[in-house]
Amino acid sequence: MIQVGIIGSTGYTAGELIRILMTHPEVEIKWCFSQSAGGEKIAQHHPDLFMHEGNFTNQIDTSVDVIFLCLGHGNSKKALENYKFNSSTKIIDLSNDFRLSEDSFFNDQKFAYGLPEANKEAIQKANAIANPGCFATAIQLALIPALEQGIVNSEIHVHGITGSTGAGKSPSSTSHFSWRNNNISIYKLFTHQHLAEVNETLSEVSTKDVPQLNFVPMRGGFTRGIFISLYFNSECSEEECIQLYKSYYADDPFVHVTSNEISLKQVVNTNYNLLQIKKIEGKVHITSIIDNLVKGASGQAVQNMNLMFGIEESTGLKLKSNYF
């Protein structure tokens, strides 16, 4: 069994991680560390895990096989400086501390970028992983095949809407129910932090210069999920595009390509990414949807763990959505 430790255990991503790992057939959760909640019941902070009888700890056993860092951005480096883990312990970080190539080294250890559909071989060989951002995951999966095959002939226009859990568990004015419910707003117009990792990945796979990416992120009046709508000019027909994407993702168990209409409920609570492709009057339109807490965070982290330990990629992740 793979011995797992989780640091930063009271937030949304940690709660999802515990939910997934509780039933993973190859995993034993050894400890869930929380500086603020040590000794308290896990179910006290994650009520959906009422069946879990364990407590949070404020002590860290550095001998585990893998640690998941579920900390706020900027805090993962501090944690690794404070706690010296065995050289054999694998690290999966869910923050943005190590995602960019210029930030990917820590104490001579390189963090591989953890997008399995684009970087599987490097993930399998890595000892440390930087888990991608949620918006970044949905956008990259929608664009990598097109840029790799050079079928994009214009700037790319992206609109993305995210649920309130994307803002984290700590309450804020824009995640308060009274403000968020029945509401929608734009934020970080053209400047969202995930653009840097998106452009870096697309530059690595593209056969041409990466086109301008015009990203309009939005807050939605729902809790979970990311809905991306993007388009670009292309000479590729709809049938050719669909076949291109299906071929590219043929060996990737969590990406499904279709020409049928898709809706966010199809992926909520799952590790799937659904891509709908349409071609209208010279423009290819792609809809890309994921659960921001699963494929956009904790599920993808477990997918990376499986690859690092040589386990079948989808182990513990065959989750079904709640469609009704």
Written as six digits, the tokens of 70 are 């579920």
Beta-sheet pairing, 66-69 with 90-93:
parallel
Distance CA 212, CA 193 (A): 15
Distance CA 2, CA 127 (A): 14
Q: Is 134 a catalytic residue?
A: yes
Beta-sheet pairing, 226-233 with 283-290:
antiparallel
Residues in Cβ contact with 275 at an 8 Å cutoff, skipping those fewer than 6 apart:
141, 142, 245, 255, 256, 257, 258, 286, 287, 288
In eight-state DSSP terms, residue 100 is S
Candidates 32, 134, 236, 241; catalytic one: 134
Q: Is 216 within 8 Å of 159 (Cβ atoms)?
A: yes
The CB-based long-range contact list for 77-82 (8 Å cut-off, 24+ gap) reads 77/106, 79/7, 79/8, 80/106, 80/107
Query: Rg for the chain (alpha carbons), in Å?
Result: 19
Give the DSSP letter string of 30-97.
EEEE-TTTTTSBHHHH-GGGTT---B-BS---TT-SEEEE---TT-HHHHHHHS---TT-EEEE-SST
Residues noted as catalytic: 134
